[in-house]
A = this chain, B = another copy of it.
Amino acid sequence: MAKTSGISQDKILEVAEAIISAKGAKDTSLSDIAKAVGISKGTLYYHYATKEALVYDITGRHFDRVIQGMIRLVEKLGMKMDPEEILAMLLEDLGEAHRISRLHLYLLYEVMSGNEEMRERYMVRYREWKQTMQSVLARLFGAEHPAHAPASAMLLVFVEGNTIRGTVFDDPAPYREMARCIHNLYRADQQNPGGQAYVETKDPKASW
């Protein structure tokens, strides 16, 4: 959607992302962005023919960063730590990055009120992110485990829930307890004592 070329493209994205992180895409006009980048509206149009196209690329950047951030953090921590601690740090890392959280919610909003194409593209990246979470769990708890399905679902919910929580409240969430909660899913004696195991639905509308 975006043209490929040198320096300005990136600068536009960077500046636009900063403004949108602060005010949301709906409240950020192309004038605002052009002014902040130091170019004319015409030039902005030359690089991004529609506002949507710009938001697309920002969405891409956002997920790139979030996904790379997870991977880098896990690699940095290595295997020296307790899996539970690693999960706690992951959750905290994502939960405390407020600028990213705001952007995350603003992009979600764009998707909710956007067109099908927007939604499609967003979902692709979202699933990629979810996949990364599952890889992290596999790395921490072994490749195959029946708890992976509920654990990754719960991890996602924690991350998203923290996003909203951190946007509304200022104090940190109980990251440690959340980590333990996920860890518990992998403990033999905890597994569904007398209950049904959580199995992700696989119908056509299922998402991963």
Contacts and interface: CB of A to CB of B under 8 A. Distances in A.
A170 B207 contact: yes
20 contacts: A26-B113, A106-B109, A108-B168, A126-B168, A150-B174, A153-B173, A154-B178, A157-B157, A157-B173, A158-B161, A159-B161, A161-B161, A161-B162, A170-B205, A171-B201, A174-B198, A176-B195, A176-B198, A177-B185, A181-B181
A185 B149 CA distance: 22
A177 B198 contact: yes
Given A154-B178, A165-B160, A171 B24 contact: no
A24 B158 contact: no
Contacts of A180: 184, 190
A206 B109 contact: no
Interface centre among A149, A153, A195, A207 (most CB of B within 10 A): A153
Contacts of A156: 161, 165
Q: What 6 pairs between A and B have smallest CB-CB spacing?
A: A161-B161, A157-B161, A181-B181, A174-B198, A150-B174, A160-B164
Contacts of A157: 157-158, 161-162, 165, 173, 178
Given A105-B108, A207-B168, A181 B154 contact: yes
A195 B172 CA distance: 17
Given A174-B198, A181-B184, A108 B154 contact: no
